[in-house]
Chains A and B, each alone.
Chain A
Amino acid sequence: MAALPFAVLAAGWELVARYGRFPPRLFPSVEQIALSFAQLSASGILLHHAGETLARLAASFAIAALLGALAGIAMGRSRNVEGLVLPLVSIGAPIPGIAYAPLFLLWFGLGNAGSIVLVAFVSAFPVAINTWTGVKAVKEIWIRAAQTMGADERRLFRHVILPGALPYILTGWRLGLAQAWRILVGVEMLAAVPWGLGWLIFGAREFLNTDVMLAGIVAIGAMGLALEKLVFQPLERYTVVRWGMMAS
């Protein structure tokens, strides 16, 4: 049933490819796209590109998830840190991350270093802001109750503040990962990395390999969908929903 829209789309595409005014090199048929997707997969090239992209995404997101959460917690717990850091975060967050790309490439070099630092920097903003909101949103009464029962700072943090803020932190991670994903593909095109799905698509332009580009886009879509279904939905189920934090 869900296949019908895709069949219609493919048929429409095929019609344009056959009878449209685009030359086949620029507008390949569905068959050709599928063929080059199969070829790229079979030769392991697509897998290599996807692996590099995934590794870059994981590395930059790990940095962002950690540093963003730490910054958010520090801002939420300390007035001084909040006063100092929050204005900078609110100024930096709305600037489109990709606008920093050329600057970061100048500062950190083309290739992996520049692109990972950039993607990490950009995706740390939503993590920090959401973590900060979450720490602030922990009910005062829970904190006081724990303190009355003799919890020290460490236990308070571990057993009250962290679980209380976790739904927000997870939302921040989710937003951060989505942001990282959206700009990583663009950054790969700009940063002249040797492997990566963004580069696969961009590099194929030189040779007018539209079929390779579209195969790359299919791979990107599949990866994005997998991230959502395999990473975030289970994560949410096992933590937030299970602890009953979501309903409140």
Chain B
Amino acid sequence: MRALISIVLFAALYEAVAHSGAFAPALVPGLTIIATRLYSMLADGSMASHALATLYRVFAGLGLAAVSGLVLGFLMARLRPVERFFMPLLSAFMPIPSLAWAPVFILWFGLGNVATILIVFYAASFPMVLNTWTGARAVNPLWLRAAGSMGASGPALFWKVVVPGASPFIITGLRLAFQRAWIAVVGAEMLAASDLGLGWVIFDAKEFLNADTMLASLIVIGLIGFVFERLVFGTVEKATVQRWGMVRTAKA
């Protein structure tokens, strides 16, 4: 209820600013203009194709990051030399923002999907590796010994004890990775996409002073981000980690 009041107040304030005449209507369009623009972009299917292009890039990058992050994370946790080799590299590359690679990737792979997906991959990899690594190391040693003394061998130990034990961290890592990936994909599309994508639309609209298109796309970006972050990854977290009782056990 309160949330509704504050949103209505904010909308009214924005509308007042838009109609005050202090700013050009092309720069600060009224809410009806934004809504009309959003509707027409939804109706002619252009918004859907931009959103699909963006989603394809984000999930391609995230998928690559998830697979390689899981493999590397588990290897680092189980094998000392792997950990010693990759840890310094990870800490050296982590502070470099993924967008810094954009111009290099553009030169190497050209404008388009490959460069964009690689930027997303770079952004999403770090939370994935680090969380998997932390999770696999945080597995209670008692469980390992218990399973070992009950005769569990290598693969069984890994799949039945280490993986479920590390899963709270991994799922949190996946969620963080999606957040990073979502930021990276929008920025990467502004720099490296050539025709489609929500980030590209916003950037392209700047050339024509289409603030209504920008704001309409921003709304869609916000909504998609919200749906995946809260609804999809939040639900996954509830359905797995909490249901298996891992959160409580991990803390106890």
- Which A positions have Cβ atoms within 8 angstroms of B? 1-2, 4-6, 8-9, 22, 26-27, 83-88, 91, 94-103, 105-107, 181-186, 189-190, 197-198, 201-202, 204-205, 208, 210, 213-214, 216-217, 220-221, 223-225, 227-228
Contact with A along B135-170 (1 / 0, CB 8 A): 000000000000000000000000000000000000
Asked if B218 and A88 make an inter-chain contact with CB atoms under 8 angstroms apart, the answer reads: no
A77 CB to closest chain B CB, in angstroms?
A: 17
B101 at the interface (CB under 8 A from A): yes
Stretch among B41-49, B60-68, B85-93, B243-251 lining the A interface: B85-93
Chain A interface SS verdict (over half)? helix
B236 CB to closest chain A CB, in angstroms?
A: 17
Q: Which residue of B6, B101, B225, B226 contacts A85 across the interface (Cβ within 8 Å)?
A: B6
B107 at the interface (CB under 8 A from A): yes
Complexed CA–CA distance, A5 and B215 (Å): 46
Complexed CA–CA distance, A220 and B99 (Å): 11
Give 4 new A-B contacts, CB below 8 A, not counting A8-B85, A205-B103: A6-B92, A99-B186, A189-B99, A216-B100
| 25 A-B contact pairs sorted by A residue (CB < 8 Å) | A5-B85, A5-B89, A87-B2, A91-B222, A94-B226, A96-B186, A98-B99, A98-B190, A101-B187, A101-B190, A102-B203, A103-B215, A184-B97, A186-B97, A189-B99, A202-B103, A205-B103, A208-B107, A210-B104, A210-B107, A213-B103, A217-B101, A221-B92, A221-B96, A227-B95
Asked if B99 and A186 make an inter-chain contact with CB atoms under 8 angstroms apart, the answer reads: yes
Asked if B100 and A185 make an inter-chain contact with CB atoms under 8 angstroms apart, the answer reads: yes
Asked if B6 and A88 make an inter-chain contact with CB atoms under 8 angstroms apart, the answer reads: yes
B119 CB to closest chain A CB, in angstroms?
A: 10
Complexed CA–CA distance, A185 and B27 (Å): 25
Chain B interface SS verdict (over half)? helix
Asked if B99 and A225 make an inter-chain contact with CB atoms under 8 angstroms apart, the answer reads: no
Asked if A182 and B108 make an inter-chain contact with CB atoms under 8 angstroms apart, the answer reads: no
The 8 A-B residue pairs whose C-beta atoms are closest, nearest first, are A224-B95, A186-B99, A87-B3, A83-B2, A102-B206, A96-B183, A98-B187, A182-B97
Asked if A5 and B86 make an inter-chain contact with CB atoms under 8 angstroms apart, the answer reads: yes
Asked if B183 and A182 make an inter-chain contact with CB atoms under 8 angstroms apart, the answer reads: yes
Chain B residue nearest in CB terms to A226: B95
Most buried by A among B101, B104, B191, B214: B104
Tell whether A83 pairs with B222 under 8 Å between CB atoms, given A182-B97, A189-B99, A208-B107: no
* Residues of chain B with a CB closer than 8 A to A101's CB: 187, 190, 202-203
Residues of chain B at interface, number, CB under 8 A: 55
B77 CB to closest chain A CB, in angstroms?
A: 17
B199 at the interface (CB under 8 A from A): yes
Asked if B2 and A103 make an inter-chain contact with CB atoms under 8 angstroms apart, the answer reads: no
Asked if B199 and A99 make an inter-chain contact with CB atoms under 8 angstroms apart, the answer reads: yes
* Residues of chain B with a CB closer than 8 A to A26's CB: 107-108
Asked if A97 and B183 make an inter-chain contact with CB atoms under 8 angstroms apart, the answer reads: yes
Asked if B187 and A217 make an inter-chain contact with CB atoms under 8 angstroms apart, the answer reads: no
Complexed CA–CA distance, A94 and B182 (Å): 9
* Residues of chain B with a CB closer than 8 A to A4's CB: 85
Asked if A186 and B93 make an inter-chain contact with CB atoms under 8 angstroms apart, the answer reads: no
* Residues of chain A with a CB closer than 8 A to B84's CB: 1
Asked if A107 and B27 make an inter-chain contact with CB atoms under 8 angstroms apart, the answer reads: yes
Complexed CA–CA distance, A91 and B186 (Å): 17
Asked if B218 and A225 make an inter-chain contact with CB atoms under 8 angstroms apart, the answer reads: no
* Residues of chain B with a CB closer than 8 A to A190's CB: 190-191, 203
Q: Which residue of B2, B191, B205, B217 contacts A186 across the interface (Cβ within 8 Å)?
A: B191
B229 at the interface (CB under 8 A from A): yes
Q: Which residue of A9, A184, A224 contacts B89 across the interface (Cβ within 8 Å)?
A: A9
Asked if A204 and B103 make an inter-chain contact with CB atoms under 8 angstroms apart, the answer reads: yes
B12 CB to closest chain A CB, in angstroms?
A: 13
B252 at the interface (CB under 8 A from A): no
Asked if B206 and A183 make an inter-chain contact with CB atoms under 8 angstroms apart, the answer reads: no
Complexed CA–CA distance, A1 and B93 (Å): 18
Tell whether A100 pairs with B218 under 8 Å between CB atoms, given A106-B206, A202-B103: yes
* Residues of chain A with a CB closer than 8 A to B104's CB: 201, 210, 213-214, 217
Asked if A102 and B187 make an inter-chain contact with CB atoms under 8 angstroms apart, the answer reads: no
* Residues of chain B with a CB closer than 8 A to A2's CB: 88
Complexed CA–CA distance, A22 and B27 (Å): 44
* Residues of chain A with a CB closer than 8 A to B225's CB: 94-96
Asked if A105 and B206 make an inter-chain contact with CB atoms under 8 angstroms apart, the answer reads: yes
Complexed CA–CA distance, A125 and B214 (Å): 21
A195 CB to closest chain B CB, in angstroms?
A: 16
Complexed CA–CA distance, A227 and B97 (Å): 13
Q: Which residue of B96, B101, B106 contacts A224 across the interface (Cβ within 8 Å)?
A: B96
